[in-house]
Amino acid sequence: MKYDAVVVGGGPAGLICSKIMAEQGCKVLLVEMRKKIAKMHRADGEMIHNDPGLRGDTVALEDGQIKFTVHGFSVPYRGPRYDLYHYIVESPSGYRVHLANFHPPIGIVISREELLRGMEKEALDAGVEIRCETMALQAENTSQGARVNVKKKDGSTEWIEARYIVAADGMASRIVRTSFPIIKPGGIFGSELAAAGEEAGTQIEMANTDWPYKHTFWKCVGKVFKSSVTYCWPTAKRNIYVLADTKKATEYFISESKFAKYFRNANRIRALGWPRVEPINPLWYPLNGNILAVGEAALGSMETLYQGAILMGWAAGKVLARAINNGVHVSRYLDDYITVMRKHEIFRHPNPFDVYMEWGPLISSFTKIFEDDEIDALFKVVDGEVIEGGLDPTRQNKYMWIAIFDKKDQLEKIKPGLLNKIRAIMEKLNKELGTNLRWNV
């Protein structure tokens, strides 16, 4: 057999997994369907979420490396960076919830292309063979190992055999969908209150804007903005990304909303599509025979984040190399990989995606639940305060609600009856979804 492993997908998870195996003497082929690995082909925040302990590690960007300080390894990154200290959510009339952290910054915006370029070079230097414009169609176990069917640039197909196939093909993983028993998520995704992932948005990069919020991940909510949420944040090269639910809503924000004045002299650099993928639950056991899933392919969620994908790729590469070099099956060492994978917060909840949504419906569905004047009232009670918090997707909504609930009396005065409405929503969520939302947390 020519290869010890064929890795499907040249994202962060696949690149580090193949590099680790090749460094330890394994013969590795990586297949990637795109023409170039280090080219951005879809929307992406390009942010390192800097919350300590997130995804089981605390990362630091220094000396040209993203360091995983808990697990003790690093990946190269020599591109530009831009530090974020503020996370601001603005209401229709301009009242703000303001989360911040300065040591460390809440996030670091990097260049995804530079990250992938550095990781691809490391993989090639370690001896990984990379074939681009090669799309994996399906994988299956064989008596000797496993094989993957790929479609090449000229349209022909080929079966490639290896001891192991690694599915690192991202959120919409074909390999996982064709090789593993998959489960559709229950919980909040079945609720009418869930808004996330309903539409495919457009992320537009603009240069030369007059956008006033520096070092800030900013978003606004309210029917007036024609999107459930609209986001604006700086790129590592100090341009601005604008992203709303739909292409029309992004265009409205840039050209007609009250914020349009900041984009009057700007030029458009590019438009990136937000992928729309039907979610599946994470794989509790990511191995099927000789097919192993890593990164987003295993977790089924974009909230895997760079941290999660790199950690999982690193841990999977180590256990595979150890098994191959010792001539035993990888299941013997798999616990080492599963332990890293299950540090992901998604495994804390019986309905895994609810971990993001616990407090989420009260924010990501703001426009479904609240009228614009109600959102104004909610944000008015905390306007002017700086709340300690970060970008952790599983906690950011909670920080905000705790601050608002601290001002319950004030809220009742500004908008009588609004508390009762929130209480009813919380009760409905707790009853229908088994969540445990309370005023005092």
Ligand X SMILES: Cc1cc2nc3c(=O)[nH]c(=O)nc-3n(C[C@H](O)[C@H](O)[C@H](O)COP(=O)(O)OP(=O)(O)OC[C@H]3O[C@@H](n4cnc5c(N)ncnc54)[C@H](O)[C@@H]3O)c2cc1C
Applying CB under 6 A, which residues contact ligand X? 8-14, 31-34, 43-47, 135-136, 168-170, 174, 274-275, 295-297, 302, 304-306, 309
Residue with Cβ nearer ligand X (164 or 306): 306
Q: Round to whole Å and give the CA distance between 227 and 253.
A: 9
Q: Round to whole Å and give the CA distance between 289 and 165.
A: 10
Residue with Cβ nearer ligand X (170 or 187): 170
| CB-based contacts of 162, cutoff 8 Å, min separation 6 | 1, 2, 3, 4, 5, 6, 29, 145, 146, 147, 148
Q: Are 336 and 319 in contact (CB under 8 A)?
A: yes
Sheet holding 107-109, edge to edge: 47-49, 107-109, 82-84
Residue with Cβ nearer ligand X (137 or 369): 137
Q: Round to whole Å and give the CA distance between 186 and 181.
A: 16
For 37, other C-beta atoms within 10 Å of its C-beta total 21
Q: Are 220 and 230 in contact (CB under 8 A)?
A: yes
Residue with Cβ nearer ligand X (122 or 169): 169
- CB 275, min distance to ligand X, A: 5
- CB 338, min distance to ligand X, A: 16
Tokens at residue 337, please?
Answer: 């990989």
Q: Round to whole Å and give the CA distance between 433 and 208.
A: 45
Residue number of the CB closest to ligand X reads 11
Tokens at residue 135, please?
Answer: 């799309």
Tokens at residue 299, please?
Answer: 């977790």
- CB 372, min distance to ligand X, A: 26
- CB 208, min distance to ligand X, A: 23
DSSP letter (8 states) at residue 75: E
Closest CA to 324 of 287, 290, 348: 290
- CB 210, min distance to ligand X, A: 24
Residue with Cβ nearer ligand X (115 or 381): 115
Residue with Cβ nearer ligand X (92 or 282): 282
- CB 75, min distance to ligand X, A: 12
Residue with Cβ nearer ligand X (176 or 194): 176
- CB 146, min distance to ligand X, A: 15
